[in-house]
């Protein structure tokens, strides 16, 4: 049975994966710049998720994207219309890192302004294990970090919240 064609973004995403990785990364940077311009003009309401994944040693997974900020940040991405944010977080984590997210739950949701768009960000927390396998297209680096040895190029606000979120995960 044939599957439905999907939305335009899904089809474009599929086409990008047919490009060589360096060209794909360039296309992602261009697409992100265009998306930011559209957000500033149209001011849409969007939803995203960030995943706080902890391993058995209490380390947190952080990534660097091929586009946007070069800072280390939690993996994540868009939440599709009608999609459960926890399932979106698990999907994004597996797509970006190549590892499964276990025991995922919603930690908090925050509304913020993202280049003019109203962005409802859902923070999903769970556990994972194993070595990350970033696709080297959207995600250029992925690594586990101890909470007391976070990288320097991380936002100060994120560095402050990660230990608090990790404590919320381990609380009964």
CATH number at residue 25: 3.90.79.10
pLDDT at position 31 over 70: no
Mean pLDDT of 69-86: 91
Distance, CA of 64 to CA of 143 (rounded, Å)? 9
Asked, for residue 3, whether it belongs to a domain, the answer is no
Q: How many domains is the chain partitioned into structurally?
A: 1
pLDDT at 20: 75
Q: Tell whether 34 is covered by a domain.
A: yes
Residue bearing tokens 């003009």: 41
2 part of a folded domain: no
Neighbours of 85 (CB within 10 A): 19
Domain assignment present for 28: yes
> Does a structural domain hold residue 1?
no
Q: Provide the residue range defining the domain that includes 78.
A: 8-170
Residue 73, pLDDT above cutoff 80: yes
Q: Compute the average pLDDT of residues 105-119.
A: 76
Residue 102's DSSP bridge partners are 127
């Amino acid at each position: 049975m044939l599957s439905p064609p999907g939305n335009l973004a899904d089809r474009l995403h599929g086409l990008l994966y047919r490009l060589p990785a360096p060209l794909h990364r360039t296309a992602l940077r261009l697409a992100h710049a265009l998306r930011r311009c559209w957000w500033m003009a149209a001011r849409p309401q969007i939803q995203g998720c960030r995943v706080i994944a902890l391993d058995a040693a209490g380390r947190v997974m952080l990534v660097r994207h091929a586009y946007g900020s070069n800072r280390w940040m939690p993996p994540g991405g868009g939440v599709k219309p009608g999609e459960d944010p926890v399932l979106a977080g698990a999907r994004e984590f597996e797509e970006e890192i190549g590892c499964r997210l276990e025991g995922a739950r919603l930690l908090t949701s925050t509304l913020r302004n993202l280049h003019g768009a109203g962005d409802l960000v859902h923070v999903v927390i769970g556990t994972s294990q194993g070595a990350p396998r970033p696709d080297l297209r959207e995600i250029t680096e992925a690594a586990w970090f101890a909470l007391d040895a976070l990288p320097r190029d991380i936002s100060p606000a994120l560095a402050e919240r990660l230990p608090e979120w990790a404590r919320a995960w381990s609380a009964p």
